[in-house]
Amino acid sequence: MSASASGLAFSPKQAGAIGRKAFLAGAAGGIVAGTAAAAGAAVEANNQINKKSPYEPSLDSLKGQVIVITGGSTGLGLESAKRLSAAGATVVFTSRTAAKGEKAMESVMDYLNNRGIGEKAKVYNIVLDLDNLDSVKAFPGSYKQLGLGNIDVLMNNAGVMAVPDLQLTKDGYERTFQSNHLGHFVLTAGLFPMLSKEKATVINVSSEAFNFASTKNGQGLDFENLNGERIYGPWSSYGLTKLANILFTQELQRRADNAGISGLTVVALHPGAVATDLGRYLVGEEKWNELKTKGPSGFEAFALNAASIFTKTVPEGASTQVFLAAGADGTLKKGSFYEDMKEKKNLPKWAKDETAAKELWEISEELGGVRFNL
């Protein structure tokens, strides 16, 4: 169940209202559910409603593949790291801090050891802070030091959702914009020379929340408000970045095609409404950790339980990006947008605006301080 409003224009205020309703209904990509204790019954109901098993590539089917995943210390990124490494891939996942990376590594290894394949696993962690462009630009050098060779799949998964107030990064940019788009643009530019020349895939995790992106005159990318210069809204800003993910996907694919780079495939996806830790950006780190440890009460418990009925579990939500990283059974379509492991062909015109995609590319180069030449 996803929040979709194709053909309708939202003001930032309206987008915020829709976002709050989407949260309670479990309907904007990356929506949160409650703790296991508080939401157990609802999650069980959800499992009964949604019978789809999480997609898992077969054992050793990805042997020899190198996959880099941003934001691999929690949620969809962590789940992707587990399942792709279980299929034999060499996985490099990122985390904001070394401590978070160590904890995630333990989780991955527990997952693999429980399946009896931990001894042959090749899993690595590198610290990456997308909110700090110095960290982003240093990442390719850190990757090289691992000596793993070319990258077969780059999964731009990390991000934040509905940050409640305007926050600026170390580089002076709106946090949602830098975390979700600009940081990944700079990272992809830096890692591009290391992508496999024979066959490589770049996966950008977007969301149906791109429908929340609006300009003064309708829906689309607001170039006058990329960093909240005109007005900031938690959901409108999130929607803007999710639209940016889609436009970046299309422009990167166009430029690769024009440059004769036939081995590159770039795709974007909506994972669905997923019960992940992204909820910490809605209520704050302290409150979120309290909810996780003590459990919600009163209306919080009611709302979160109700929402969880309509959300996917993390294993379910990771299926599309795992499917794409594994090659989509040989059916990957260049520059496409996927949902539930299928290509979504009916994106609105403003989400396929070539002029806007080109302008976003040029602005991203300027803001990121890079030249992304193919």
pLDDT score, position 120: 93
pLDDT score, position 260: 97
DSSP class per residue in 58-105: PTTTTTT-EEEESSTTSHHHHHHHHHHHHTT-EEEEEESSHHHHHHHH
Report how far residue 203's alpha carbon sits from residue 194's, in angstroms, rounded to the nearest whole number. 15
Q: How far is CA 45 from CA 51, 299, 308, in A?
A: 11, 19, 9
Is residue 103 exposed (0-12), middle (13-18) or buried (19+ Cβ within 10 Å)? middle
Q: How many CB atoms lie within 10 A of CB 292?
A: 17
Indicate the Cα dihedral angle 227, 233, 236, 242, nearest 10°: 50
What mean pLDDT is predicted for residues 230-246? Answer: 96
Q: Which two tokens stand for residue 184?
A: 């990944």
- Which residues are paired to 268 by β-bridges? 204, 337
Percent of the chain scored above 90 by pLDDT?
74
Whether 46 shows a pLDDT value over 70: the answer reads: no
Q: Is the Cβ–Cβ distance between 312 and 273 less than 8 Å?
A: yes
User: Which of 314, 320, 325, 311 minimizes the C-alpha distance to 344?
Assistant: 320
The catalytic site residues sit at 238
Q: How do residues 69-112 score in pLDDT, each as one tens digit?
A: 999 999 999 999 999 999 999 999 999 999 999 999 999 999 99
Is residue 138 exposed (0-12), middle (13-18) or buried (19+ Cβ within 10 Å)? middle
The average confidence (pLDDT) of the chain is 84
Say how many Å lie between the first and final Cα of the chain, rounded: 38
pLDDT score, position 311: 73
Which SS3 state, helix, strand or coil, does residue 249 take? helix
CATH 3.30.540.10 fits 53-276+313-368, yes or no: no
Q: Is the Cβ–Cβ distance between 12 and 231 less than 8 Å?
A: yes
DSSP class per residue in 282-297: HH-HHHHHHHHHH---
Whether 269 shows a pLDDT value over 70: the answer reads: yes
pLDDT score, position 155: 99
Q: For the chain, how big is the Rg over CA atoms in Å?
A: 19
Q: How do residues 188-219 score in pLDDT, each as one tens digit?
A: 999 999 999 999 999 999 999 999 999 999 99
- Which residues are paired to 67 by β-bridges? 91, 153
Length of the chain: 374
pLDDT score, position 124: 98
Among 11-25, 51-65, 120-134, whose mean pLDDT is lowest? Answer: 11-25
Whether 304 shows a pLDDT value over 70: the answer reads: no
Whether 15 shows a pLDDT value over 80: the answer reads: no
Q: How many CB atoms lie within 10 A of CB 100?
A: 16
Report how far residue 87's alpha carbon sits from residue 343's, in angstroms, rounded to the nearest whole number. 23
Q: Report which secondary-structure segment, H or E, holds 154.
A: strand 153-156
Whether 272 shows a pLDDT value over 90: the answer reads: no
Number of helices followed by number of strands (H, E) in the chain: 14, 10
Residue 273: band (very low, low, confident or very high) from pLDDT cuts 50, 70, 90: confident
Report helix angle 12-25 to 298-309, nearest 10: 80
| Extents of the domains making up the chain | 53-276+313-368
Side-chain half-sphere CA neighbours of 195 within 13 A: 22
Going across the sheet that includes 337-339, the strands are: 122-127, 90-95, 66-69, 153-156, 200-205, 264-270, 337-339, 342-343
pLDDT score, position 290: 52
Q: For residue 149, which amino acid is it? A: G
